[in-house]
Amino acid sequence: MITLAAAPSGALAEPSPAKIRAKLVKLNEQADQLVERYNQANEAYKSAKKKYEKLNTELSRKDAQAGELREELATIASNSYQAGPFGSWPAFALQGNPQTALSSMASLEQLAQDRAVKILAYETATKDLRDRRAEAKQVLAEADDARDKVRDEKTKVDKLVKEQTKLLRRLGTFRTGDPNSPGIEYTGPASGNARRALQFAFAQVGKPYRYGGTGPGSYDCSGLTQAAWRTGGVELPRTTWTQWSWGASRRVPLDALQPGDLLFSKGLGHMGMYAGNGKMVHAPQTGDVIKVVDLDDYWRNRLLGAVRP
C-alpha cells in the first residue's frame, strides 16, 4: 500500500506568469504616480533649501552692515561725550575768537546730525534683519516639511520598487542595463534643436531606468526628456507634471506630431519623446532600460497629449 504525503496546509500554488504580469502592470501604474510625487517633493525641497541658503547669505551681509553701523554709533557717542552735552557752552564762552566758537558749534551740530542719521540707519538695518530672520525661519520650516515629504514618498517608492524587482526576476525579465551604454545612432527625420535632443536621447539607449535619475548613468522618464532638451537648447522643468504645465501654450494634437515632441501618458505618470516614423524613445520603469518603442495601439491609447518645446 502506497501512502501519499499530504501537501503542507500552508502551501500556496505559484501564481501563473499571466497573473504575475497583470500584477506587474498595476504596480507599474502605481509606481509612475509615486515616482512623480517623489520628484515633485524632491524639487520642492531643493527649491526651499536654495531659497533658505540665499536668505542666509543675505542675513550674513545685513548682520555685518548692522555691526558696522553699531561701531559707528559707538564712535559718535564717544565723540559726543568728549565734546560735552549741549555744545559745552562754558568752553565756547571762554574762546577769544568768535569764529572759532562758531566753528565748534557747527561741528557739534554736524555731530548730532550724523548721530541721528546713523541711528535711523541702524534701526532700519536691524528691523530689516529681524524681518529677514523671521522669513528665513519660515522658509527653513517649509524646507524641512518638503524634506519630510521626500522621505515619505521615497519610502513608498522603495517598497514598490522591491516588489517590482521581485516579480520581474520571477518572470526572468529584469534588465539591469549598462550605465556606460554607448546608445544607438539617431537616423530619424528630426532637424535643428529637436535633432540634437533626439541624438542625446538615443545615445542613452540601454542605460537603466532609475526613479529620480537625471543622468548620466541612469534616468527616469522626465529626467531623460529634460536632459535631452537641455542639449537641444531648451530648459524644461524637472517633473512630468511641471513639464506638462510648462507646455500649456505649446500643446499639439496627437495626429500632428513632429520629432522631438514630448508625449504624456494619461494621469501624467509617464512621458517620452516622439522620434518620428511612429516611434517613441523613453525611460520606461524599474527593471527596464531606456529604449525606442513603436507607438502602437497600446501606447496611443495611453497618451494624454503632446507638447512641442
Told to judge if 282 belongs to the known catalytic residues of this protein, a careful annotator would answer yes
User: Whole-angstrom Cα distance, residue 99 to residue 23?
Assistant: 100
Choosing from 221, 271, 281, 283, which is the catalytic residue? 221
- If you ran DSSP here, which 8-state letter would residue 261 be given? -
Maximum alpha-carbon separation in the chain: 142
Which residue from 159, 160, 222 is spatially nearest to 27, judged by alpha carbons?
160
Choosing from 270, 284, 288, 295, which is the catalytic residue? 270
Q: What are the C-alpha distances in Å from 53 to residues 64, 65, 134?
A: 17, 19, 14
Q: Quick one: cell of 109? A: 551740530
Choosing from 196, 207, 210, 282, which is the catalytic residue? 282
Distance of CA 217 to the CA centre of its chain: 19
Told to judge if 22 belongs to the known catalytic residues of this protein, a careful annotator would answer no
H/E run at residue 106:
helix 98-171
First to last CA, the chain: 78
Residue matched to cell numbers 504575475: 20
Told to judge if 217 belongs to the known catalytic residues of this protein, a careful annotator would answer no
The residues annotated as belonging to the active site are 221, 270, 282
